[in-house]
């Protein structure tokens, strides 16, 4: 059942079908949009560093996984990929988050095998609200310095940093019910994984378990646009250097609800995101693991909400894929998206200079 998050945080500043190319098994996608200018229709407007050379996305202790997908064209191919996972942290998402963590090694292994020319990556997680600690900030006061549900919560200290309470900032310290409950050991000072991280699987498992104490008023698109904003990506920003001109951007949204709270319309959201990627939508792959009430393998139930706005948003990108968050596992669903990523990597032409 969904929990309601009580927004009272003391701040301490320390510094089940599938789809491809905009279509799925149950509906057709919208027209592709390849360019746009930000700031219109309620759009949510709120750097560049390369990682070490080496084998793409090497997942420690992974058995490997199958691959599917297209061949792309004969272009040289991109050398860099920025992966952004926008993960719903509301009360019903515990099993879904674990499903994603379990499916991640096979997904990355498939990309490693298919998108062989890409040798540099950033991997970041953003959650669908801006709180840190769920109800604990209030409970700490009510129970004299103790949070009954989460004994390890650091009462009376506030959030570790301002970035931990900013919508769209990369998650590095999940706390609360069903979370990893620890400060994730990422190499360097960045709020995203780079090739310098020695154990990609463990690092992703830590940041992706964002927990289930978040608000039931999910805002995945606001989290997405915040994560890509100049404010967070610029020098000194929480996500400084995450979004790079030379890299393709692969966004995965995972939520079991509609986005009814992010300001604007689906087409306004598309315009804004493309503008944040320099006005070229071909450099973006948009993956949505969202509700599909009609899926025969669904575990969500007949009363699952139809996320019409999110579906329109996802399918409006030239390179898009929609799978079911209700699928019993995501391994096959994510594997089906690898060919789209490969094609986007082959065809993307970064801006000159």
H/E run at residue 346: helix 338-347
pLDDT digits over 76-92, tens only?
568 899 999 999 999 99
Angstrom distance (rounded) from CA 224 to CA 273: 8
Domains of the chain: 19-347 (3.40.50.410)
Statement: residue 7 has pLDDT above 70: no
Share of the chain above pLDDT 90, in %: 53
Which two structure tokens, joined as six digits, stand for 55?
Answer: 């084998």
**58 has pLDDT over 60:** no
Q: What is the pLDDT of residues 21-51, one digit of tens each?
A: 444 433 333 333 223 333 334 333 333 333 3
Please tell me the predicted confidence (pLDDT) of residue 117. 72
| Distance separating alpha carbons of residues 340 and 333, to the nearest angstrom | 12
Question: What is the structure's pLDDT at 327?
Answer: 87
Contact 147, 140 (CB under 8 A): yes
Q: Per-residue pLDDT averaged across 256-262, rounded?
A: 95
Where is pLDDT greater, at 81 or 147?
A: 81
For the chain, the residue count is 353
Q: Count Cβ atoms within 10 A of the Cβ of residue 246 and give its class: 0-12 exposed, 13-18 middle, 19 or more buried.
A: middle
pTM as predicted: 0.80
Pick the more confident residue, 202 or 50: 202
Q: Would the pLDDT of 172 be above 90?
A: yes
* DSSP secondary structure letters along 181-213: -S----SSS-SSB-TT-S-HHHHHHHHH-B-S-
Report the alpha-carbon distance of residue 27 to residue 12 in Å, rounded: 47
User: With 90 as the cut, is the pLDDT of residue 339 above it?
Assistant: yes
d(CA 190, CA 264): 30
Q: What is the pLDDT of residues 213-241, one digit of tens each?
A: 999 999 999 999 999 999 999 999 999 99
pLDDT value, residue 134: 82
Does the structure show a pLDDT above 50 at 126? yes
Alpha helices in the chain (DSSP H): 94-114, 136-142, 200-208, 220-228, 230-233, 266-276, 308-315, 331-335, 338-347
Across residues 132-137, what is the average pLDDT? 84
Arithmetic mean of pLDDT, 122-144 = 90
The pLDDT confidence band at residue 294, using thresholds 50, 70 and 90, is low
The answer on pLDDT for 66 being more than 80 is no
Dist. CA 174–CA 208, nearest whole Å: 8
Q: Is the pLDDT of residue 277 over 90?
A: yes
Mean pLDDT over each residue of the chain, to the nearest integer: 79
C-alpha 46/C-alpha 61 separation (Å) is 39
DSSP 3-state of 322: strand
- Determine the Cα–Cα distance for residues 179 and 90; give it in Å rounded to an integer: 11
| pLDDT mean over 177-198 | 92
């Amino acid at each position: 059942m969904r929990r309601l998050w009580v927004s009272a945080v003391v701040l301490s500043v320390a510094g089940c079908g599938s789809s491809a190319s905009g279509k799925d098994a149950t509906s057709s996608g919208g027209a592709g949009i390849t360019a746009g200018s930000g700031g219109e229709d309620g759009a949510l407007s709120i750097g560049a560093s390369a990682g070490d050379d080496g084998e793409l996305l090497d997942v420690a202790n992974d058995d490997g996984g199958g691959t599917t997908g297209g061949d792309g064209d004969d272009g040289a191919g991109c050398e860099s990929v920025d992966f952004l996972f926008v993960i719903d942290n509301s009360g019903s998402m515990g099993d879904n988050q674990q499903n994603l963590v379990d499916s991640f090694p096979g997904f990355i292994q498939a990309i490693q095998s298919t998108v062989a020319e890409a040798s540099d990556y950033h991997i970041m997680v953003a959650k669908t609200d801006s709180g840190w600690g769920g109800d604990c900030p209030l409970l700490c006061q009510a129970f004299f310095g103790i949070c009954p549900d989460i004994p390890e919560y650091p009462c009376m200290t506030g959030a570790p940093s301002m970035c931990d309470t900013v919508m769209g900032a990369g998650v590095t310290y999940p706390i609360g019910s069903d979370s990893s409950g620890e400060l994730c050991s990422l190499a360097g000072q960045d709020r995203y994984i780079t090739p310098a991280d020695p154990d990609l699987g463990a690092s992703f498992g830590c940041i992706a378990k964002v927990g289930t104490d978040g608000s039931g008023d999910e805002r995945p698109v606001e989290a997405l646009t915040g994560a890509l904003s100049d404010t967070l990506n610029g020098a000194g920003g929480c996500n400084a250097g995450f979004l790079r001109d030379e890299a393709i951007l692969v966004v995965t949204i995972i939520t079991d609800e509609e986005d009814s709270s992010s300001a604007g319309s689906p087409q306004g959201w598309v315009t804004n995101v493309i503008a944040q990627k320099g006005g070229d939508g071909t450099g973006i792959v948009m993956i949505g693991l969202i509700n599909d009430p009609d899926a025969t393998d669904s575990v969500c139930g007949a009363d699952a909400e139809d996320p019409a706005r999110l579906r329109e948003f996802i399918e409006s990108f030239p390179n898009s894929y929609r799978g079911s968050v209700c699928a019993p596992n995501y391994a096959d669903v994510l594997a089906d998206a690898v060919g789209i990523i490969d094609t986007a990597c082959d065809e993307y032409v970064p801006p000159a200079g």
